Amino acid sequence: MSRKSAPVRAGGRWLRWALILVALLLVTPIAEVGCVRVANPPATPLMLVRKIEARLDRRAPAPCRYEWIDLARVPRTFIRCVLTSEDQRFFQHHGFDWREIAIAEREAERRGTPARGASTITMQCARSLFLWQGRSWVRKGIEAYYTFWMELLLSKRRILELYVNVIEMGDGIYGVEAAAQAHFGTSARALNREQAALLAACLPNPREWSPRHPSPALRARAARILQNEPGLKIPATFDRAP
């Protein structure tokens, strides 16, 4: 065997393993999205991350409160409040709201400030279900990849069902059912309009804003949601079983 052939073979093996790794990284998100199409997730990576963060901060992690409920048991008022607050064009876009992104960029240029977030509900759901919180470009790129496959493989109804069940709604609180019980001592089905609006208003910063003890700013945000919520239309096909 010549001296040159060994490095060539070693390089070939490394290339083969690199291609296998890339293929796994590309296929794994597709498989994960396919799984949540038919199965409800028992937990999410974010729940584990929060426990690790607490340990690193040398504090006891908050008990994890997570209770799955079917979307049919979630009040339509809460769904409309969430859509009004977070993604009013949810039923019009395919995971990326390019119109909102363009508006955010124009506002940033006019004010000379960084562009505000234009995350859709699908993007937020991908982040909460499969990834971690943060502002790195790596996470945003992976989030976009998951978002693409979620919109391709899941119905809008399923995306919303996943979202309202796994979204972080307080320290150790995930999903609307756990949030309703923790903040208001009631079930999600029994939420009134004001409570639904307060929960939706907290979503941009659920670990700092309290729907149980809302600040004047949070009350004002909830009031704006209630003012706009009746005008948000949900497609008639939405209530059909998936």
CATH value at residue 217: 1.10.3810.10
Q: What is the predicted pLDDT for the residue at 64? A: 92
Q: What is the predicted pLDDT for the residue at 5? A: 55
- The tokens for 165 are 């069940």
**Structural domain includes residue 11:** no
In the three-class reduction of DSSP (H, G, I as helix; E, B as strand; rest coil), residue 173 is classed as strand
Question: For 10-19, what is each residue's pLDDT tens digit?
Answer: 567 777 777 7
Q: How far apart are CA 226 and CA 111, in angstroms?
A: 28
Q: How far apart are CA 172 and CA 154, in angstroms?
A: 27
Q: What is the predicted pLDDT for the residue at 237? A: 67
**Structural domain includes residue 21:** no
Q: What is the pTM of this model?
A: 0.86
Q: What is the predicted pLDDT for the residue at 4? A: 53
**Structural domain includes residue 188:** yes
**Structural domain includes residue 24:** no
**Structural domain includes residue 156:** yes
Question: How many domains does the chain fold into?
Answer: 1
How many residues appear in the chain? 242
Question: For 46-65, what is each residue's pLDDT tens digit?
Answer: 999 999 988 888 888 889 99
Q: What is the predicted pLDDT for the residue at 179? A: 96
Q: How far apart are CA 83 and CA 235, in angstroms?
A: 13
Residue ranges of the chain with per-residue pLDDT less than 70 = 1-11, 107-109, 111-117, 237, 239-242
Q: Which domain holds residue 188?
A: 40-97+123-239
